[in-house]
Structure formats: structure tokens, C-alpha cells
Amino acid sequence: MYPAASMERNSSATDATHAQTEQTLRSLMLAGLDGDAASYRRFLQQLGTRLRSFYRRRLSAWPDDVEDLVQDTLLAVHNQRHTYRHDQPVTAWVHAIARYKTIDLLRARQGREARHDVLDDDDTALFDTTENNAAEARRDLWQLLATLPDRQRLPIEQVKLEGRSVADVASETGMSESAVKIGIHRGLKALAARIASTSRPRTKASS
């Protein structure tokens, strides 16, 4: 019913690897959807690694954007996880999202670079030795986070910053536990919306 994104006519060894990847990611995600936070975190970590190499291959012209896009996609995967159907391959679902995010970025790029060419003079790329590690993203989500209303920003900062539990944050901020949870949940949605509006293509204004 759903065409698996990884179903190419490769050698059977590659097929087997793909099948295994699918199986691992799928079981981690399903556990995560059932409320197992540890499995869910592992799912996102494995996904992050895969997305990083996926984007590195596809966006060799813009290595600086790779980590932004990885974060953007992870946030999208999380916020849109209700659109995943259990009978569907996880890889096909994520691949469709990653493809959308790539096209979205390329479109935004076209609009911006039509106006002024980006000439990156500092040759930091030469010293990049952390090929497989997570690079620091160029766009800082903290700054975007600062623009959120307090009831969303505070729980996120607290949970994030010191890795505290929801219960700890609730007692410290005087919010109820469910208010903290809702704050985090809505804050992440709002964060994705901010990202979408800051990277909006400006082709219309320029040409």
C-alpha cells in the first residue's frame, strides 16, 4: 500500500540493512508513541544521525545548513507524529518529510540568493573534522525560544536547561504538571511555526 522509500533494486545485502533499519526505527517509534520516553529519545537520536548524512549528501553546496535542517526535521517529525500510521514504513514517512524540508530550503535559498550571492570567505570548512558529529546549528533555537510567551518558554527552558523532570519544573515554577506539559507541547509547535516564518521564501518581494 505504501511504497517504501528504501525499496530500490539494490543488492540483497542493502535491502537487508534497510529492512533492519526500518525494523529498529519502527519498534523504537511505536514504543515512543506508546509513551516510552527513553525509546523515543533513542528513535530521535538514530534518526538525527541518519538525517545528518542524508542532508550532507544532498546539500553539499550548503554544509552550514545541514544541522539547521536536521533540527528542523526532528522538530517536524515530533510535531507531526500524529500523521504517522502504524501500518506504514517509518522510513517512508520520514523520507517524505525530509524531502519536503529539502525542497523548502532550496526554495528559500533561491529567493535569497537571487538578490545577493552568498560568498562565504571564512574557510572554516577546511577545519571541519567532526564529520560524523552533530555540528552546532547556525540558527540558534534559543533565540527563537526567547520570543515565545512565558508559559511556553519557561517549562521548555527548565526542562531543557538542567534536564529536570516535569514534576520538578512544576513545583519550581508554581505551574501545575499538566500546565507544564501543555506549555512544552504548544511551545514546540510554536517553535516550528517560528522557524517556518523566519525562513519564508522572499521571491515575491525581490523579483
Partner 1 sequence: MKTDELIHLLAADTLPVKRHVAARRLAIGMLFALPVSMLLMLTVLGLNPALGRYATVPMFWVKFGVPCLMAVAALPLVARLGRPGADTRIAWTAWVLPVGFLWALGLLVLLQAPAGEAGALMLSRTWRVCAENIAVLSLPMFLAAIWALKSLAPVRPALAGAGAGALGGASGAAVYALHCPELAAPFIAIWYVLGMALPVAAGAVMGPRLLRW
Footprint of partner 1 on this chain (CB under 8 A)?
A: 1-3, 5, 32-33, 35, 37-38, 40-41, 44-45, 48, 67, 70-71, 74-76, 78, 80-85, 88-89, 92-97, 99-100, 104, 134, 136-137, 140-142, 145, 156, 159-160, 163, 166, 181-182, 184-185, 188, 192, 196, 200
Question: Please, which residues have CB within 8 angstroms of residue 141's CB and are 6 or more apart in sequence?
Answer: 71, 191
Nearer to partner 1, 27 or 80 (CB): 80
Q: In the bound complex, what is the minimum distance in angstroms from residue 66's beta carbon to partner 1? A: 10
Handedness of CA 95, 114, 192, 157 (dihedral sign): positive
CA distance 94 to 84: 9
CA angle 87, 93, 94 (to 5 degrees): 140
What 8-state DSSP symbol labels residue 85?
-
Cell triple for residue 165? 523532570
Q: In the bound complex, what is the minimum distance in angstroms from residue 131's beta carbon to partner 1? A: 15
Nearer to partner 1, 40 or 54 (CB): 40
What 8-state DSSP symbol labels residue 136?
P
Nearer to partner 1, 121 or 204 (CB): 204
Q: In the bound complex, what is the minimum distance in angstroms from residue 119's beta carbon to partner 1? A: 27
